[in-house]
Amino acid sequence: MAFVRTTQVGPVEGRSVADYRYSYGEALRDGVCRPVLFEHVGGTATFQVPDGTIHTVSPDDDLNAQGESYRLRTLLDPKGGHLREMIEVADARLARLRATGDAGLIVCMDIDHADTVAEVLTERTGSRPVVVCSRLNNPDDPEPAAALEAFTDGSGPWIVAVKMVSEGVDIRRLRVLVYATNVLAELSFRQIVGRIVRNDPGNVKDYGVMILPVDGRLSVMTARIQD
């Protein structure tokens, strides 16, 4: 690309070189962004693999990539207790922040997963959250664009989404985030965390809370952000 400096040698040859970098740590010190508290929820997970065998594993068990995938998907299954506990912890956290109209976001794996999570949250709170997906399973849910606009300008407590609350969507009252997706790309992870670090002029002393499953790969990424 013209006028962009790139590295010329090494394992990342051709990568663009920034003229200036402004880190999250610097943004915190300058008061541009909010701090985030990470809470990991999990325990033993029991799942069945394609050959029919059943495995029960703990967060400390050393698994191969496929085993880690099974364990994470089990923790995020709404039929189990782990995700329900994550939602309960998140809703309790949000209840303490609601005086200023703060809100929570649950990021899900896919559309069907989001719809089931919305049902779990409805059981917990007594009202259905806003659901924004490219396809809606529930005919009573509003269209995504209208739902996003109404939620951004409103005071509702919860929004459930797959990929539609991402870069470019500015909902400054989001303060609690449930990471209920199996996306493990660090760039995507950091972008999702970014949903709850934005300053709100009406509530300058608040902080963000991220609830996520116990998973070694996610722990590494949260540690890098905390560092």
Q: Is residue 28 part of a domain?
A: no
Is pLDDT above 80 for 24?
no
Q: Indicate the pLDDT class of residue 113, thresholds 50, 70 and 90.
A: very high
Residue 203 is predicted with a pLDDT of 65
Residues 48-57: what's their mean pLDDT? 73
Residues 45-49: what's their mean pLDDT? 72
Residue 159 is predicted with a pLDDT of 93
| HSE-CB for 189 with a 13 A CA cutoff | 18
Paired strand residues for 209: 37, 176
For 15, 40, 206, 211, the CA distances from 72, given in Å and listed in that order, are: 32, 13, 30, 14
Q: Is residue 218 part of a domain?
A: yes
Q: Is residue 26 part of a domain?
A: no
Q: What is the CATH number of the domain that holds 135?
A: 3.40.50.300
Q: What is the pTM of this model?
A: 0.84
Domain span including residue 217? 35-226
Residue 71 is predicted with a pLDDT of 83
Q: Is residue 91 part of a domain?
A: yes
* 57-84 tens-digit pLDDT: 777 777 788 878 888 888 888 888 889 9
Among residues 90, 222, 63, 186, which one has the least CA distance to residue 74? 63
Which residue in this structure is represented by tokens 């909010």? 34
Q: Is residue 12 part of a domain?
A: no
Is pLDDT above 80 for 222?
yes
Residue 60 is predicted with a pLDDT of 73
Average pLDDT, the chain: 83
Q: Is residue 4 part of a domain?
A: no
Domains: count for the chain: 1
Residue 106 is predicted with a pLDDT of 96
State which H helix or E strand residue 56 sits in: strand 54-57
Q: How many angstroms separate the CA atoms of 49 and 68, rounded? A: 12
Q: Is residue 18 part of a domain?
A: no
Q: Is residue 149 part of a domain?
A: yes
* 151-188 tens-digit pLDDT: 888 888 999 998 767 766 778 889 999 999 999 999 89
